[in-house]
Every structure is written in structure tokens, then in C-alpha cells.
């Protein structure tokens, strides 16, 4: 798994995070916009994010499993080919989005919070729980009445695969009660 080290040097007052990943295990991550500014709220920004993820996939191979993009953050479930590349994948996506967004919007600035939340998916039950969390997130945040009414998510793909019945997500699934990963 991973642990968080809070050791600091006298010249460095920020904690140092050590992340450990397991080969062959998917990773759930949450990335948040700087100051929770809702710049991911429009279609162009969402498409920039998704294009950036595809672009980075050519450099650091991974399998994209699920995602949801909300105005001020996104959740992503992926399985890297090489566990040591998880932080590199995330940094590359953040960098690629920043470059593309600055080119389109022409605005300088910091677009992402420095850190990110991550969780190694341990087993099939843990995978299903995080998949449900991702797909229910727009409902949790009051953006959609149900997961099927929200376009910026992999929910529709998973429903086509048979993972979700038609009425899934009308209320909070028991599998995610108590989870707060935002």
C-alpha cells in the first residue's frame, strides 16, 4: 500500500508524501482545480482533459477504467502498465491539460492543486465500490438527478456493458455510504 511521511527538513516545511503502488492493481485518484475554481464546467475544458488523458496514455501506458469530470474536480480509475508510473501519469495529465487550456483560453495561472488523493484498489469489491462512487458523484453534488443524466462520465459505457441497471443511482447506493473522497 502506501503511507504518508510527515518528516520535514529545516529548509522544507512541506510534508513529503511517499506513495507506494502495487503492480497489477487499479488506482483511484481525485484531482482538484486550484482554489476549487469551476473551470471544468464547460464542454471545451472537459474535452481538453479527456484529450490530455489520451495523449499521456501514449507515453505512460495505462488502461482507462472510469472517470467523472465535475466543475472543480475529477475522479479517475485507471490501471497503469507499470506501478512506478502512477505519479508520472498524473503529473503528465495535469501538465498537458494546463498547456492545452492555456493555449485555448490564453490565460496564465495555476490550474491544479499541487497534491492529489489516491487509493490502491485492493480487490473486486473495492473496485465496484469506487466505480459506484465515481458514477454517483454528479448526483451527490447536486449536478444531476441521476447518473444517466450526466454526460461527463463513463457511466453510460458501464451501463452498456451491463454493470448498471436502468434505474441505478436514483438514490445513494449502499456500497458508497460513508465514502467521502472529494
% residues pLDDT > 90 (the chain): 59
**CA neighbor of 115 nearest in space, from 5, 33, 12:** 33
Lowest-confidence range among 6-15, 55-64, 156-165? 6-15
Lowest-confidence range among 31-45, 74-88, 118-132? 74-88
Domain-by-domain residue ranges, the chain?
Answer: 19-168
Q: Does the domain at residues 19-168 carry the CATH identifier 2.60.40.10?
A: no
State the pLDDT confidence band at 107, using cuts at 50, 70 and 90: low
DSSP state of 120: E
CA gap 153, 164 in Å, rounded: 14
CA gap 132, 168 in Å, rounded: 10
pLDDT of residue 9: 41
pLDDT of residue 8: 40
CA gap 41, 51 in Å, rounded: 16
pTM: 0.84
Lowest-confidence range among 52-61, 76-85, 151-160? 76-85
CA gap 176, 158 in Å, rounded: 17
Amino acid at each position: 500500500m502506501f503511507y504518508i511521511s510527515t518528516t520535514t527538513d529545516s529548509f522544507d516545511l512541506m510534508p513529503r508524501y511517499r506513495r507506494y503502488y502495487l503492480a497489477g492493481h487499479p488506482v483511484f485518484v481525485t484531482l482538484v482545480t486550484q482554489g476549487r475554481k469551476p473551470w471544468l464546467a464547460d464542454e471545451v475544458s472537459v474535452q481538453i482533459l479527456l484529450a490530455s488523458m489520451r495523449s499521456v496514455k501514449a507515453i505512460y501506458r495505462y488502461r482507462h477504467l472510469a472517470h467523472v469530470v465535475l466543475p472543480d474536480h475529477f475522479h479517475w480509475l485507471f490501471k497503469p502498465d507499470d506501478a512506478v508510473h502512477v505519479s508520472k501519469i498524473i503529473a503528465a495529465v495535469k501538465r498537458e491539460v494546463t498547456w492545452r487550456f492555456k493555449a485555448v483560453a490564453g490565460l496564465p495561472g495555476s490550474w491544479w492543486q499541487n497534491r492529489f488523493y489516491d487509493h490502491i484498489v485492493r480487490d473486486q469489491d473495492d473496485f465496484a465500490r469506487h466505480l459506484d462512487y465515481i458514477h454517483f458523484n454528479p448526483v451527490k453534488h447536486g449536478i444531476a438527478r441521476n447518473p444517466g443524466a450526466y454526460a461527463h462520465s463513463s457511466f453510460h459505457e458501464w451501463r452498456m456493458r451491463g454493470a448498471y441497471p436502468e434505474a441505478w443511482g436514483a438514490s445513494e447506493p449502499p456500497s458508497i455510504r460513508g465514502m467521502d473522497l472529494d
